[in-house]
């Protein structure tokens, strides 16, 4: 249950305030040259403390790779890794040892397991996603060889929605601002909104858009292994995710068929190409060679820096005075996580597809 993927498979471990988090990547193909700087760069993009828009928890998030590489190349054996938890202010959490924070996992973990490591949310903390970024960043280096490129960006914060389709934005602009929105002017408005919300002790949610380019025809499996079902499972496993759609999605699903079918025309190398792409690059669960694009909805962070009414583990009403360092908005830091999960799905799907033929 702490593993993701069939062939390229991440198994992760770790709690927010234990000595370290980490994971094991199984199924990485052999012979791939790994650029550790690229890996570290992705971790820096997810790292807390990187801007004033995110939590001030200060983690260097240095990853230690313990196996699976030799002379800079993958060996085909599993890649074990750890990331130390350095800046633990566990005392910040003493107030919640016996109190259930609203809309957090405190109550559900306690009820399920009979006990929980309450410090920093324990296993339910988004700190775990650093392990996903490691697995995703390594998958990306394999996907680079295959010509598959993935990027994501913040497309909505609160009621500020990026108006145009992904095709109007350059991925090069995404990291030009701390919101990770490819329209600089809208990014500024989003950033201002996040700061305003933060100063009010409140939080805010939004939407991230993901794009996969260069995907060959044929990835995804019938009928339960549909490529978009695997992407949905991947995205919905990210902390705070509340929704996933792709292609026409929720917004255009009410249109007419005549408005939404993607006409085939002869394309390059004799392959069919579609004039439009309402399908989102996937037909019948299998990639058709067009761009894949999708959206992920993220809820506002549940920790408010205000007093909130709740119950304790004896069932009594109490007031929670939240402390700790928290993101007012998960979107900026979730962008590399969305990319990482997409990369894992794509490499895994690519490897599985190899078995469709002798």
Q: Which of residues 166-195 bind a copy of itself (CB under 8 A)?
A: none
Residues 54, 75: Cα–Cα separation, whole Å: 37
Give me the least distance between CB of 218 and a copy of itself, in Å please.
Answer: 4
Using alpha carbons, select from 72, 75, 69 the residue that is nearest to residue 29.
Answer: 75
Q: Is residue 229 near a copy of itself by the rule CB under 8 A?
A: yes
Given a contact cutoff of 8 angstroms between Cβ atoms, the answer to whether 311 and 305 are in contact is no
Q: For a copy of itself, give the closer residue by CB, 171 or 299.
A: 299
Residues in the chain: 358
* Residues between 201 and 220 with contacts to a copy of itself, criterion CB under 8 A: 202-207, 217-218, 220
Q: Are the C-beta atoms of 88 and 17 separated by less than 8 Å? A: yes
Window 43 to 62, contacts with a copy of itself (CB under 8 A): none
Binding residues for a copy of itself restricted to 273-312, rule: CB under 8 A: 274, 278-280, 282-289, 295, 297-304, 306, 308-311
Q: Does 260 bind a copy of itself (CB under 8 A)?
A: yes
Distance CA 93, CA 111 (A): 19
Q: Among 147, 176, 264, 307, which residue interacts with a copy of itself (rule: CB under 8 A)?
A: 264
Distance in Å, CB of 156 to a copy of itself, minimum: 6
Question: Phi/psi at 265 (nearest 5 deg)?
Answer: -135, 160
DSSP letters, 9-61, are EEEEE--TTSSEEEEEEE-PPTT-B--HHHHHHHHHHH-TTSSTTS-------
* Residue 128 near a copy of itself by CB under 8 A: yes
Q: Does 158 bind a copy of itself (CB under 8 A)?
A: yes
Nearer of residues 25 and 43 to a copy of itself, judged by Cβ = 25
Q: Which is nearer to a copy of itself, 1 or 37 (CB)?
A: 1
Structure tokens given for 67: 């196996």
H/E element holding 349? helix 331-354
Cβ nearer to a copy of itself, comparing 165 with 242: 242
Which of 90, 103, 213, 323 touches a copy of itself by CB under 8 A?
103
- Using the contact rule CB under 8 A, the part of the chain among 49-57, 166-174, 181-189, 263-271 near a copy of itself is 263-271
CB-based contact 54:333 (threshold 8 Å): yes
Round to whole Å and give the CA distance between 160 and 137: 30
Q: Which of 176, 255, 307, 321 binds a copy of itself (CB under 8 A)?
A: 255
Of 57, 123, 180, 333, the one binding a copy of itself by CB under 8 A: 123
Residue 157 contacts a copy of itself per CB under 8 A: yes
Least separation in angstroms between CB 107 and a copy of itself: 5
Site for a copy of itself in 19-38 (CB under 8 A): 19-24, 26-27, 29-32
Tell me the β-bridge partners of 343. Answer: none
The answer to whether 67 contacts a copy of itself (rule: CB under 8 A) is: yes
Query: Distance (Å, rounded) from C-alpha 293 to C-alpha 97?
Result: 41
Shortest Cβ distance from residue 172 to a copy of itself (Å)? Answer: 26
Beta strand 272-274 pairing with 264-266: antiparallel
Residue 253 CA to residue 115 CA, distance in Å, equals 43
- Rounded to a whole number of angstroms, the minimum distance from the CB of residue 344 to a copy of itself is 10
Q: Is residue 7 a contact residue for a copy of itself (CB under 8 A)?
A: yes
- Burial state string for 197-213 with b = 16 or more CB within 10 A and e = fewer than 16: bbeeeebbbbbbbbbbb
Q: Which of residues 330-349 bind a copy of itself (CB under 8 A)?
A: none
DSSP-based three-state secondary structure for 266: strand
Residue 213 or 273 having the CB closest to a copy of itself: 273
**Residue 79 and residue 36 in contact, taking contact as beta carbons nearer than 8 Å:** no
135 scored as a contact of a copy of itself (CB under 8 A): no
Residue 41 or 70 having the CB closest to a copy of itself: 70
């Amino acid at each position: 249950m702490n593993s993701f993927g069939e062939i390229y498979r991440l198994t992760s471990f770790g709690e927010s305030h234990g000595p370290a988090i980490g994971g094991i990547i199984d199924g990485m193909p052999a012979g791939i040259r790994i650029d550790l700087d690229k890996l570290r760069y992705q971790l820096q993009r997810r790292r807390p403390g990187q801007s004033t828009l995110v939590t001030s928890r200060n983690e260097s998030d240095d990853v230690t790779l313990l196996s699976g590489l030799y002379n800079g190349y993958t060996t085909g054996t599993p890649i074990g890794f750890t990331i130390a938890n350095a800046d633990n202010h566990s005392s910040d959490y003493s107030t919640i040892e016996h109190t259930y924070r609203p809309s957090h996992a405190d109550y559900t973990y306690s009820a399920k397991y009979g006990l929980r490591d309450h410090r920093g949310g324990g296993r339910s903390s988004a700190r775990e996603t650093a392990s996903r970024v490691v697995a995703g960043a390594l998958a990306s280096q394999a996907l680079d060889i295959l010509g598959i490129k993935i990027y994501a960006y913040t497309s909505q914060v609160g009621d500020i929605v990026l108006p145009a389709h992904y095709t109007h934005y350059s991925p090069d602009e995404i990291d030009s601002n701390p919101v990770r929105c490819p329209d600089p002017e809208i990014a500024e408005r989003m950033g201002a909104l996040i700061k305003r919300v933060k100063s009010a002790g409140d939080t805010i949610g939004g939407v991230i858009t993901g794009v996969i380019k260069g995907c060959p025809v044929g990835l995804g499996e019938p009928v339960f292994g549909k490529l978009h079902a695997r992407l949905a499972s991947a995205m919905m496993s990210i902390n705070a995710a509340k929704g996933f759609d792709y292609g026409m999605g929720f917004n255009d699903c009410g249109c007419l068929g005549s408005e939404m079918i993607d006409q085939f025309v002869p394309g390059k190398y004799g392959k069919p190409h579609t004039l439009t792409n309402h399908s989102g690059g996937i037909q019948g669960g299998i990639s058709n060679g067009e761009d894949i694009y999708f959206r992920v909805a993220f809820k506002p962070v549940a920790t408010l820096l205000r007093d909130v009414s709740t119950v304790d583990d004896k069932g009594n009403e109490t007031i929670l005075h939240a402390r700790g360092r928290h993101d007012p908005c998960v979107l900026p830091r979730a962008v590399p996580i969305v990319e990482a999960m997409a990369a894992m799905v794509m490499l895994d799907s690519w490897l599985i597809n190899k078995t469709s033929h002798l």
